[in-house]
Every structure is written in structure tokens, then in C-alpha cells.
Amino acid sequence: MNRREFIKKSLATGIMSGSALTFGSFSHLFAYPHRSIFDKPFDLVAIKGGEPDVMFDTGIKSLGGMKAFIKKGQTVVVKPNIGWDTSPERAANTNPFLIKRIIKHCFEAGAKDVYVFDHTCDNWKRCYSNSGIESAAKEAGAKIVSGESEGYYQQVTIIKGKKLTDAKVHELILESDVFINVPVLKNHGSADLTISMKNLMGIVWDRGYWHRNNLHQCIADFATYRQPDLNIVDAYFVMKRNGPRGVSKEDVLTLKSQIISSDIVAADSAAAKLFGSAPEDIDHIRIANEMKIGIMDLNQLNINRIKL
């Protein structure tokens, strides 16, 4: 059996050799359409089987549309993962087609200005360009801002933090009316997974402190400061190993999925299950749940599961 045949068989059976990613949890997450007996709004939407822009169109509609989160005349900051100088299919960064569609919805909801930025790990100009996000954002009418200069960051106090009690946060997060967090789901060598909470490291200046002082606790601590108004997890391409940068396209699976929620812990818990991990096994998700930042137990949520 050659490698291509092996991969096809692995995808069919739900197991990829050498990866924690299985399709048992994936199938469970989308196993059945949820019908609320309480007739209340959805807490989370999980979409499968479409292109990034189409999935977002469908998912945000079931949450009341972007107008449920943005009022006319407000300023919006969209924070993707743009940390790495790689092309979109490598799954190190957020999908540019998703970012473009999110921005379009923001303006249709009445946003005055939409800003896009990340504090990148590789050279920021190359990351912005080669990820495809810069051109996608500009085409949609957003303003691209650098996260490269310390002058953009202001000192804040993390009142509920245990390990992380202060940080320098990008001024866009402090000044914008609406904060939309758009991580890509992927493996991470230090944090196990990088999803919504981990993506917030891209809005602070000194990330090194987090790594030196209990990374998982710091990730949870910072989530107590300002939670995004909306979390949109890009799981179209998913890096199953060698994260966060990845080594090659062989590290990537095409899941064509997306998770949307205003609850950052719920979004990460659903994404962890999509990856094939138990949320309680990801320390920063478990800690955030214990700190009552959000809900880890998906059985407590009203979830809309959509297959396109």
C-alpha cells in the first residue's frame, strides 16, 4: 500500500498514524442536529463540509447575524493567527478566505472601521503577505496594522490572574468596540493545542514571560482580562503535528470545519474534541473552566450542528 492509499484509508477509518487527531470525536461533535427544548439562542455553532466563507455565512446566521455583535458606527478589531511566514495550505495561519468574509459581514452590520493585526513570530511583513491575509483584508476594506512595535502596547493589570498579573496589550484591543478572535486549530508543542485562548498571545507584547511562568496558567489568566465578543475557530485545514509552524503539507488534514461561539472556553472545548482530544486533557482549557471563565462541558450548551 502506498502513502496516498494509506492516507485515504486512514481518513475513512478515522485514524491518522502518528497523530492525536481521530475522527471519533469529530463524528461525535457533528453526530446529530441539536434541537433545544428550552427555545433559547444557540451557545455554539459547529459547521462541517463547506468552504470557509460559506461555512461562516451559515454559522453566523444561526447566531443572529453579525448585527447581533456589532452596532452601526462601531470599530472592530479582527485578530487572526498570522504568526508564521507560510502559505495558507500549511495551516499555520488562519484561512484568508474566512478573514475576508468576516470583514465583509462586519461592514454589512454597520462597522465604521475594521482593523486586522497580529504580533507575529516571523517577520511581520512576510507573514502578512505570504499568509494571504493582508491582501484578503485590504480587498474587503479593512485596515492592516502592525503588531511589531512596542509603542503600540499599553500596560494593563490582570486582576484575576494567578501567574500573569499584568501585560502590555495592543492598543487596538483597548480602543475598539468589538473584538473578534479568529484562531486556526492546530497542534502546539508547548500548549498542546493552539485555539482561541492561545491566540490571545498575539495581542500582548511579552509572550516570553508566559512561556517561562506556567504557560497554561498564563493563557487562562489572560482570558480573564478581556474576552473576545466572538470566537471563530478555523478548522478548514488542521495541522495535526509539528505545530505551531509545521514542517510540510504532510502535517495537515483538510477537515472543512468551523466553530463559532462567544464563549471562549466552549469554543476551545469543541475544537479540542474536533481535534480528537478531551478538553480536560488540555491544561489551559481545564484551568479556564475551573476559573469559571467559560463552559468546558459541551453537554451544558445549546449547540447547533450544521452539515453542508
**Residue 211 parent element (H or E):** helix 208-212
pTM score: 0.89
Looking at residue 246, what is its pLDDT? 81
**Are the C-beta atoms of 264 and 6 separated by less than 8 Å?**
no
Instruction: Give percent of the chain above pLDDT 70.
Output: 87
Looking at residue 300, what is its pLDDT? 94
**Are the C-beta atoms of 272 and 298 separated by less than 8 Å?**
no
pLDDT in tens, 225-283: 989 999 999 999 999 988 888 888 889 999 999 999 999 999 999 999 999 999 999 99
- Class of the CATH domain delimited by 18-307: alpha beta
Which band of pLDDT confidence, cut at 50, 70 and 90, is reported for residue 21?
very low
What b/e readout covers 30-58, taking b as 16+ CB neighbours within 10 angstroms? Answer: beeebeeeeeeebbbbbbbebebbbbbbb
Domain boundaries, the chain: 18-307
Looking at residue 29, what is its pLDDT? 62
Looking at residue 32, what is its pLDDT? 46
Q: The dihedral of CA 308, 227, 165, 146: what is its sign?
A: positive
pLDDT in tens, 35-89: 444 456 899 999 999 999 999 999 999 999 999 999 999 999 999 999 999 999 9
Average pLDDT over residues 148-175: 96
**Residue 48 parent element (H or E):** strand 44-48
